Amino acid sequence: AQSVSQHNHHVILSEAASLELGCNYSYGGTVNLFWYVQYPGQHLQLLLKYFSGDPLVKGIKGFEAEFIKSKFSFNLRKPSVQWSDTAEYFCAVNSRDSNYQLIWGAGTKLIIKP
């Protein structure tokens, strides 16, 4: 069965620090990859997605992610975080072989200290 791993459950950074959140998935076929964000008290919002093409994808609010097929990874990055980036971040994967059922990572709680 497909699975998604997010290795960092809690991350605490200071403002202006660089961010990288890891995401690995366990399926060898063609996948679609997503990062969702959940700000405190708000609903899940799409941050960015990868379907095909350039493996470096840019999303909203200065976030980007790189798909590395050989490593089964889709890490999320931001060069300089802000206090408003405090949120929970979820990596998710779907594929045709799983009828596009969205498989979720456990989430990473990011706290940015002002």
Single out the residue of 11, 23, 14, 12 nearest to residue 80, CA to CA: 14
Which stretches does DSSP call E strand in 1-114? Answer: 4-5, 10-14, 19-21, 24-25, 32-38, 45-50, 56-58, 64-68, 73-78, 87-94, 103-104, 108-113
Which range, of 20-28, 39-47, 54-62, 65-73, touches other proteins by CB under 8 A? Answer: 39-47
User: 89 with 44: CB under 8 angstroms?
Assistant: no
Binding mask 48-87 for other proteins (x = CB under 8 A): -x-x------------------------------------
For residue 44, state whether it binds other proteins (rule: CB under 8 A). yes
111: contact with other proteins by CB under 8 A: no
Residue closest to 47 by CA, chosen among 64, 59, 32: 59
Least spacing, CB of residue 95 vs other proteins, in Å: 9
Q: What number of chain residues touch other proteins (CB under 8 A)?
A: 23
* Residue 26 engages other proteins in binding (rule: CB under 8 A): no
Q: Is 90 in the site for other proteins (CB under 8 A)?
A: yes
Name the residues that contact other proteins, by CB under 8 A.
32, 34, 36, 42-46, 49, 51, 90, 92, 94, 96, 99-107
